[in-house]
Amino acid sequence: MPRVLIIGVGSIGERHLRCFQQTGRADVSFVEVNPELRQMMTKRYGVMAAWDNLDEALSHPPDIAVVATPAPYHVVMAQRLVELGVHVLVEKPLSINEDGLDTLAATIHAKGITVGVAYVMRHHPSLQQMRAAIQSGRFGKPVQIVVVSGQHFPLYRPAYRDIYYKEHATGGGAIQDALTHLMNAAEWLVGPVTRLVADADHKVLEGVTVEDTVHVITRHGNVMGSFALNQHQAPNETTITVICERGTARLEWHAHRWRWMTEASGEWHDETIAPLERDALFIAQANAFLDAIEGRTPVACPLAEGRQTLRVNLAALRSVTTGLWQMLGL
């Protein structure tokens, strides 16, 4: 079994630890600098090997590492791992700027290492089905994408004031934290963002000043897009609608379905799935990454696509500051 090292077992790292264990296909260990957390996770998951620093953990390099520390560490850690020949699954957002990414891409290429960015929405069965239907051409070409999403973030992350979320420099704010998932999913559905203009503000969340409410207008080549997202509304709802020349497809995350309509003012045709357990997508992500390492499937979100979505994050932040359209030179 491949040895998988989770780096950082905070909120998402703990989930990766549990979900890689759940695959039954990995021997999982972790490194965590916080001593209480290290002790708690060791007990909770019966992990035999837990280190307090990366240097020691890498003295006997694992086969795979999951980088689950805050965003400013992602690229530096990934570079170190790749140089040691370790395959890497790195959390989103890939980074907070593009520093080091050319070197990382070159090292990955030279070493033949697999690196994926953990945009977990790509593992949602309804999104996968909807994408396959759109790509089959049965609705004609996509012309417009409309994304509407919101949830009460403090309910899911009560500590939001004390973690990376509170500052842009550590990967925080709605654009880098939440919208980035939807941008990556949208790029996966209709292609990379080629230009955008964004508006964002802090409206509701107490104890932080970063934006919690965002609007973005995008172009993905010929496809026109719009995104509206907040992190404070009561409903936890996400819809992604892709309007094509001869039909409309819509993901309704909260309703466990995607649906489609081809007749004007016709009926929706529902493609429903059973509600997913909270870990389901992360177990699917872990299995998919192990499959990719075994050469059975391509990695779900390669570095280049994670980097493209990083450029979108950065362009959206620039647009909010300047009030201007941003061109993404593709």
If one asks whether residue 163 binds ligand NAD (CB under 6 A), the answer comes out as yes
Q: Quick one: tokens of 182?
A: 């939807």
Beta-carbon contacts of residue 267 (< 8 Å; ≥ 6 apart): 261
Q: How far apart are CA 6 and CA 30, in angstroms?
A: 4
Q: Which is nearer to ligand NAD, 90 or 249 (CB)?
A: 90
If one asks whether residue 116 binds ligand NAD (CB under 6 A), the answer comes out as no
Using CB under 6 A as the binding rule, the residues of this chain from 262 to 291 that contact ligand NAD are none
If one asks whether residue 37 binds ligand NAD (CB under 6 A), the answer comes out as yes
Q: Which is nearer to ligand NAD, 7 or 134 (CB)?
A: 7
Q: How far apart are CA 179 and CA 142, in angstroms?
A: 21
If one asks whether residue 120 binds ligand NAD (CB under 6 A), the answer comes out as yes
Among 92, 250, 259, 311, binds ligand NAD (CB under 6 A): 92
Output DSSP code: residue 161. Answer: G
Among 10, 100, 125, 302, binds ligand NAD (CB under 6 A): 10
- What's the sign of the alpha-carbon dihedral 53, 288, 170, 234? negative
- What's the number of CA atoms in the CB half-sphere (13 Å) around residue 67? 27
Q: Which is nearer to ligand NAD, 32 or 187 (CB)?
A: 32
If one asks whether residue 39 binds ligand NAD (CB under 6 A), the answer comes out as no
Q: Residue 240 forms beta bridges with which residues?
A: 147, 251
Q: Which of 50, 96, 52, 49 is nearest to 76 (CA)?
A: 96
Q: Which is nearer to ligand NAD, 11 or 321 (CB)?
A: 11
Q: How far apart are CA 163 and CA 68, in angstroms?
A: 13
Report in angstroms how near the CB of residue 91 gets to ligand NAD at its nearest. Answer: 4
Residue facing ligand NAD at closest CB distance: 10
Q: Quick one: tokens of 1?
A: 């079994």
Cβ count within 10 A of residue 278: 8
Among 4, 5, 13, 182, binds ligand NAD (CB under 6 A): 13
Q: Quick one: tokens of 70?
A: 């805050």
Asked whether the beta carbons of 195 and 327 are under 8 A apart, the reply is yes
- Tell me which amino acid residue 187 is: E
If one asks whether residue 33 binds ligand NAD (CB under 6 A), the answer comes out as yes
Beta-carbon contacts of residue 178 (< 8 Å; ≥ 6 apart): 149, 153, 229, 231
Among 153, 164, 253, 258, binds ligand NAD (CB under 6 A): 164
SS3 assignment, position 299: coil
Q: Which stretch binds ligand NAD (CB under 6 A): 6-14, 125-133, 210-218, 269-277?
A: 6-14
Using CB under 6 A as the binding rule, the residues of this chain from 42 to 71 that contact ligand NAD are 54, 68-71
Among 11, 209, 222, 272, binds ligand NAD (CB under 6 A): 11
Output DSSP code: residue 277. Answer: P
If one asks whether residue 243 binds ligand NAD (CB under 6 A), the answer comes out as no
Q: Which is nearer to ligand NAD, 73 or 139 (CB)?
A: 73
Residues that bind ligand NAD (CB under 6 A): 7-13, 31-34, 37, 54, 68-71, 73, 91-92, 118, 120, 163-164, 171, 177
